Structure 1
Amino acid sequence: MHSLFLVFGAGLLAGAMNALAGGGSFVSLPALIAAGVPPVQANSSSTVALFPGGVASAWAYRDGLGPVGSVTMRSLLVATLIGGFAGAILLLRTSSAAFSIVLPWLLLIASLALAFGQRVGDALRARFRIRGSAVLAIQFALGVYGGYFGGAVGIMMIAMWGLLDTRDIKSLNAPRTLLVSAANAVAVLTFVIAKAVHWPETLAMLVAAVIGGYGGAQVGRRASPGIVRACTLVLTFCMTLAFFVRTYAPALPGR
């Protein structure tokens, strides 16, 4: 019962974070691990729990869907679905011990993407352009990352698309939400079929994330974007540091 309260509270916060600035998995994944779910199953369960909120966002943005530069949405969707499936299978074939070692680095990558992804994308867009075929290859790779872990993958997509499309960044939110949801959808289906989901904790977190997402959207209308972003980055980097300490400190000399 204590673990269900823990994951429900984490789901509320994760749902609110995703509605405000992203990074909800930085809360949901550690909470599931703390509740006793093995790391690989915690990651798959977190993906399932946060999936409905992403679908709701994709539906809300449906009117803004369209091609990204010269690349059709259908092509991007196919590349993402194949990559997401490959990433999910890769996760299921990763042992909990190996995933525990990789996890802090995945969190660090996601933290850096949250912090600097837009700036890096803007800087690259001012200097480079890439072809549609390269976009599909990178989109496949991002799909793999999305199915395997997925932290801040939406920001990575927008940064990459900026090298192809000259549209305003905000106009890319519609394809971003759809394709992130697509990678998560195929991963969720794979995890469910493989029975890699801890359902009591997942369902409690799922319900809480929906509630938190609605509440976060209401808060987002009133809160300062700068404050929301600062709080999100502080939380994500603190969680990343905690996982580095948890994973590597016991191996230090004298420990």
Structure 2
Amino acid sequence: MLTLLLIVSAFFAGVLNAVAGGGSFLTFPALILAGVPPLNANATSTVAVSPGALASAFGYRRELGRIRDIHLPSFLGISLVGGLLGALLLLWTPQRTFEAIVPWLLLFATLLFAIGPKASAWIRRTCTIGHGTVLAVQFLIAVYGGYFGGGIGILILATLGVFGLTDLHAMNGLKSLVSGCLNAVAVAAFVAGGAVYWTEAMIMLVAAMAGGYAGASVARHIPPPVLRKVVILVGASMTVYFFITKA
């Protein structure tokens, strides 16, 4: 039964990430319900969903080639450094401490996912910042992404929008590339730190890849706003659950 839970949650996480994002709201709680400690569940979830972002970035390779306003190597470089630092901070966090802050991380990620598009649009209308500031903000986002990562796509899109990018496809491609690289460097740190539960990770990895492949078909039949509401509902439910169980 627990194996089925991991397969189903990872499959639909792959679907969500391909269409609307927010797949970690399914994989992270599923791993905890399967008995994986929270810190290890976070690391294992990252391993399970990481290939999808890079695959998506490959699909946007033509759009990525149109980016001229931002220096891609420096943007990726600062993201990798921040992602590695965030992953190391997670490994250095005591298990009990991480358990205590999990409900707050889920609350932040859920709120971010819920208000992200409107907040991003408002920021784009009211602010414009320089390249140096973008890199500084992206570094902080990358640290958060390496540590937990819920809602990181919204943060990256908002930063790119503030910088002045308007090509949504190119922005989504860069978001996927950065997220994939962040996940990759975080995975390397988690593997080196022995934080990954490999049996669960491999089961979910295969299911998430299948879900990501199916996501293109799902996108044709279910409007993204509907999927976003599902993600928000799941995130809110998990947040309440963890606040109650940790009380």
TM-score with structure 1 setting the length: 0.92
What amino acid is the match of 1:247? Answer: K
Q: 1:67 offset after TM fit, Å?
A: 7.8
Relative to structure 1, is the Cα distance of residues 10 and 103 closer, same or farther in structure 2, using a 3 angstrom cutoff? Answer: same
More deviation, 83-92/212-221: 212-221
**Equivalent residue number for residue 124 of structure 1:** 123
Distance 1:148 1:217 in 2: 29
- 3-state secondary structure, aligned to 1:126: helix
Q: 1:3 offset after TM fit, Å?
A: 2.7
> 1:68 touches 1:165 (CA, 8 Å); kept in 2?
no
> 2:21 touches 2:153 (CA, 8 Å); kept in 1?
no
What amino acid is the match of 1:225? Answer: P
Q: 1:87 offset after TM fit, Å?
A: 0.4
**Equivalent residue number for residue 229 of structure 2:** 230
More deviation, 232-241/34-43: 232-241
Larger gyration radius, structure 1 or structure 2: 1
Aligned residues: 247
Distance 2:67 2:145 in 1: 19
Whether 1:163 aligns to 2:162 is: yes
Q: Residues 66-122 of structure 1, C-alpha deviation per residue, up to 9 Å, x if partnerless?
A: 586743010100000000000000000111211111111111121122111121121
Relative to structure 1, is the Cα distance of residues 197 and 65 closer, same or farther in structure 2, using a 3 angstrom cutoff? Answer: same
Distance 1:210 1:166 in 2: 30
Relative to structure 1, is the Cα distance of residues 170 and 115 closer, same or farther in structure 2, using a 3 angstrom cutoff? Answer: farther
What amino acid is the match of 2:47? Answer: V
**Equivalent residue number for residue 91 of structure 1:** 90
Q: 1:166 offset after TM fit, Å?
A: 4.2
- 3-state secondary structure, aligned to 2:36: coil
**Equivalent residue number for residue 107 of structure 2:** 108
Q: Residues 18-65 of structure 1, C-alpha deviation per residue, up to 9 Å, x if partnerless?
A: 122111111101111111111111100000011111121111111111
Distance 1:231 1:4 in 2: 23
Q: Residues 119-139 of structure 1, C-alpha deviation per residue, up to 9 Å, x if partnerless?
A: 112112222211111110111
What amino acid is the match of 1:114? Answer: F
TM-score with structure 2 setting the length: 0.94
> 1:143 touches 1:183 (CA, 8 Å); kept in 2?
yes
Whether 1:38 aligns to 2:60 is: no
Q: 1:215 offset after TM fit, Å?
A: 1.9
Distance 1:103 1:187 in 2: 18
**Equivalent residue number for residue 238 of structure 2:** 239
Distance 1:24 1:18 in 2: 5
Distance 1:70 1:132 in 2: 9
Q: Which runs of 5+ in 1 are unaligned?
A: 249-255
Distance 2:83 2:223 in 1: 34
Q: Which runs of 5+ in 2 are unaligned?
A: none
